[in-house]
Structure 1
Amino acid sequence: MRWHFKTLKPIDSSPVIGRDGTVYFGCLDGKLYAVSPQGKLLWSFLIGDKIYSTPALTPGGDIYCCSWGGKVFALDAQGNQSGRAAPVQKWLTQIPGRISSSPALNPGGGLYVGSDNYNLYALDNAGGVTWVFTTRKYIEAPPAVAPDGTIYFGSNDAYLYALSPGGTLRWKFNTGGAITSSPAIGDGGTVYVGSSNGTFYALSPLGEEEWRVRVSALSGWIDSSPAIGADGTIYFGCNDGNLYAVSKEGALLWKYQAGSTITSSPVVDPEGNVYVGSWDGRLHAIGRWGELKWSFPTPGPIHSSPAICSSTTPNDGVLYIGSVDGLYALGP
């Protein structure tokens, strides 16, 4: 362990790493934190409500953050790096309903965010609502945005939706169970998503099913968003306690038994190692063939997903993960 930044409440939000190595994350204590690569507090911003969602960083240095109470904030992420003790709030928009979904960036500017009032909202750079798309149940996870601007997201109504950048429906696909994780977009635009019925799907950009894999019939809710490796292998966790590896052709390659529920989403490093948290408080490092390399214990359930520093940021290869007592930095 490199360092441990302590918080008084659990971290369900996943950390996000800035270009300078600053780590941003939300906490159930109602604060958004910015921590240096050395584990020192740069600033904290009081949102005033629980934060379940992961913040999003824009190329221009702004940070978007959502609260459980339906508030969407835009902050100047530079904080005390510009001589200030805390970031500047640029705008605040109140969305009806509660938000556990993380904001997703619109490549053209602005963001998308889902709510438990069944709606997906598109906001512009000034926080104005540009359109609203309504589903039949609540939205818990952020959308994935394709290079052509198509917005893919799931709802608890069992459908995966594909919307145009203007918010019109292109297609929807019934998975047969609630979708509480984010889809991932692979080579060729294939969309991957899991469902609460223990089935994982691959869909074409036109909404046609390419293949499906039934990984678990009992307690098989897939609440973990998929990660795609450099070779196209797809990794995702499941409530049955397994991490699954599936080929881009839909063949089950291996499964790793973590021994406890996995709702954390995996992350893959350049060597093909996979990292994921579990409800027994452990962070697991799994080799590319499904073998356990090491595990790191924390005091309580891990709902947060890990983040890895890339070679373009300080602390290359360092792994960050949130738990019930703060943020951990692990690695070289």
Structure 2
Amino acid sequence: MVRAGVLACLLTAAGAGATDSPWPMFRHDLKHTGRTTYTGPDTAALLWTYQTGDGVASSPTIGPNGTIYIGSGWLWSGATDSSLYALNPDGSLKWKYTAVDGVFSSPTIGADGTIYFTCIGGYAYALHDSVTYAKLHWQSGSSGPFLLSSPIVGPAGHVYFGSPDLNFYVVDSGDGQLVWKYRTNWCIISSPALIEDETIYVGSKDHHLYAFRNDLQGPLWGFPTGTFYDGHLVDASPAVGTDGTIYVGSDQYGAFGKPPVPVDTSFWAVNPDGSRKWALSIGNGVESSPALGADGTIYFGSYDSCFYAVADSGTYGLVKWKFQTGGVVDGSPTIDDEGIIYFGSRDSTIYAMRPDGTVKWSYRTGGGIESSPTIDNDGRLYIGSFDGKVYCLGTGAPDMAVVAIDLPETVQAGIGYVPAAQVRNLRNHPQDLSLACIIEDSAATVYVDTIDVVNFPADTTAIRTFALWTVGPDAGVEYTVTVAVVLPTDKHPYNNEKSVVVTSEAGAFLCGDANQDGKVNIGDAVFIIGYVFRGGPPPAPLQAADVNHDGKINIGDAVYLIGYIFRTGPAPNCPQRMI
């Protein structure tokens, strides 16, 4: 169909040059907010699964072209798969790369598309995606077994990650060579977060949250969460709030082979200078890394099988609500642009929660979940499970919606009409977009117009009008009128088109009857004023409102019509065609 080709061209032009990844690293961004500007699935509809060779604890990341990267092999010994997978958006295998041991960590994607990850065997890798295979860029020497920390890449070109050999590593992203390292007092499985001045925050099993600086090649400070064997181990990854507060959990496990120790306090808010802001007693350990809502709400899971929403009052943490699942929640949550929170539980279930703590939907997988969900720019959610599968859930809600097209069902041959559309922004932030209107008869496209809309207000419905369309000279012709939303940063299938069919007929129109009620009265003048000041739909046909015959529709026509209605002016004098 011609319309499909026209829309494809418009979409291609709008998306040209977009290279940013919708989810380039563990926890989405360097501050580890876990929050995206895209919207997740509106319902839990399974689009596809991909079966790997072992449990999937790794969290997926997404390349600029939509490729999904995720590791497999989660056992600390005896992993039956040790691959980093590259999957196409349709769930087919693009390639896989075999590492020395299982890939528990989540990959990160550099600005040039290089993929960085670590494996349980203690090695760090940098790969290039060569479309049909992975090309090794570099591989580090082993830092010892059980390397679980997910790396990040800073603006200075350094790769940061922790290691079970007790060291925090900083290596060059170009060649993998050591820049500096710092030895803590126990192993590091926490994944680092980083802020604008390249201060790095990371936890250690030595019961400290650390702030590292490149210029110091070591810690700026270390915040203690307890004593060595009391269970306050910082395995979770920190998240940084808008005011610089660092949020992190601590978990209850002691040394290997020792029983868990009770934990009195397991969630912390730390000031940027390393002082304690507040601490919250959950009653059990927190290995889940927090996600930060747009309103500042902090979301995380716990070993007590509950999921928490906590408010930062400035001096203490206040539990807004908690939700009981059927298993430990040690995976980390994701927040979409509508504020919906997504997370997995060891009860094998993916949950979507509203900000008020009610369940929007849930989906049961075939195994427990430690992987964290990610969301792409088409509204699809990806997550791994211990059943060895990568899951893709789809059918997200639209970002913009064409609510209605304002044209009469019957149009008059040879007469001009102004197509208009009621458009709604379904998001909680303003958006820039384009609107395309395409009109076709059975043989060809007879009309195309595109308008750009800047800063369309949040949660608003408004009318947008297109250029004049003059109907063809023949009666009895059916025209398909389509209005489509084109968003430069979003390929969402629900962004959104609506079509109506109108039929041409021969005949005259009532001059001055702008609102098409069959009469000429003050309502028509009000209708014209509403149209002129963009408060209402256009007259149909347009000629019916050009009562002063000047070829334009403006406030002069409303004044002219009022004069006629109150018997002080001449009768309406409409043209048969608009120029």
For this structure pair, what is the TM-score category when the shorter chain's length is used for normalisation? over 0.9
Aligned counterparts of 2:118 and 2:186: Cα–Cα separation in 1? 19
- Residue 270 (str. 1) matches residue 337 (str. 2): yes
SS in structure 1 at match of 2:120: coil
- Following the alignment from structure 1 to structure 2, what is the Cα–Cα distance between the partners of residues 141 and 173? 15
> Match for residue 246 of structure 1?
310
CA-CA distance at 1:331 after TM superposition: 2.3
What is the CA deviation profile of residues 37-87 of structure 1, one whole-angstrom value per residue up to 9, with x for unaligned ones? 11111111111311111011001110001111111111113x22xxxx312
**Could you say which residue in structure 2 is the equivalent of 1:118?**
166
| Partner Cα separation in structure 1 for residue 161 and residue 371 of structure 2 | 19
1:2-31 deviations in whole A, cap 9, x for unaligned? 111111211111000112211000111111
Q: State the match for 1:161 in structure 2.
A: 210
Instruction: Give the alignment's Cα RMSD to 1 decimal.
Output: 1.1
Structure 1 residue 140 corresponds to structure 2 residue 189? yes
TM-score by length of 1: 0.94
Partner of 2:111: 59
Instruction: Choose between structure 1 and 2: higher helix proportion.
Output: 2
1:104 aligns with 2:124: no
Match status 1:181 vs 2:181: no
Deviation at 1:224, TM superposition (A): 0.2
How many angstroms does 1:180 deviate by? 0.7
Uncovered stretches (5+) of structure 2, i.e. residues with no partner: 1-45, 74-80, 227-231, 252-262, 396-579
Q: Does 1:193 align with 2:248?
A: yes
Q: Distance in 1 between matches of 2:375 and 2:242?
A: 22
2:289 aligned residue: 225
How many residue pairs match? The answer is 319
Q: Which protein, 1 or 2, shows the higher relative CO under an 8 Å CA cutoff with sep ≥ 6?
A: 1
Q: Is structure 2 residue 219 aligned with structure 1 residue 172?
A: no
Match of 1:331 in 2: 394
Query: Could you give the per-residue CA deviations for residues 125-166 of structure 1, whole angstroms, max 9, x where no partner exists?
Result: 210011111111110121111111001110011100111123
1:129 and 2:196 correspond: no
Following the alignment from structure 1 to structure 2, what is the Cα–Cα distance between the partners of residues 331 and 287? 18
**Counterpart selection for 1:297 from 364, 368, 380:** 364
Aligned-residue offset at 1:326: 1.1
CA distance in 2, matches of 1:317, 1:14: 17
Correspondent of 1:41 among 79, 87, 93 = 93
What's the counterpart of residue 206 of structure 1? 273
- Aligned residue in 2 for 1:313: none
Q: Distance in 1 between matches of 2:177 and 2:249?
A: 32
| Counterpart selection for 1:15 from 60, 69, 73 | 60
Runs of at least 4 residues of structure 1 off by over 4 A?
A: none
Q: What residue number does 2:140 align with?
A: 93
Using the aligned pairs only, state the percent identity. Answer: 41
Match for residue 7 of structure 2?
Answer: none
Distance 1:155 1:172 in 2: 10
Quote the residue 1:319 is aligned against.
Answer: 381
TM-score under structure 2 length normalisation:
0.54
Say whether the 8 Å CA contact 2:181–2:218 is kept in structure 1.
no
Greater CA radius of gyration, 1 or 2?
A: 2
Moved more, 272-281 or 194-203: 194-203
Q: Deviations for 1:241-260, whole angstroms, at most 9, x for unmatched residues?
A: 01111113222111111121
SS at match of 2:243: helix
Q: Secondary structure at the match of 1:331?
A: strand
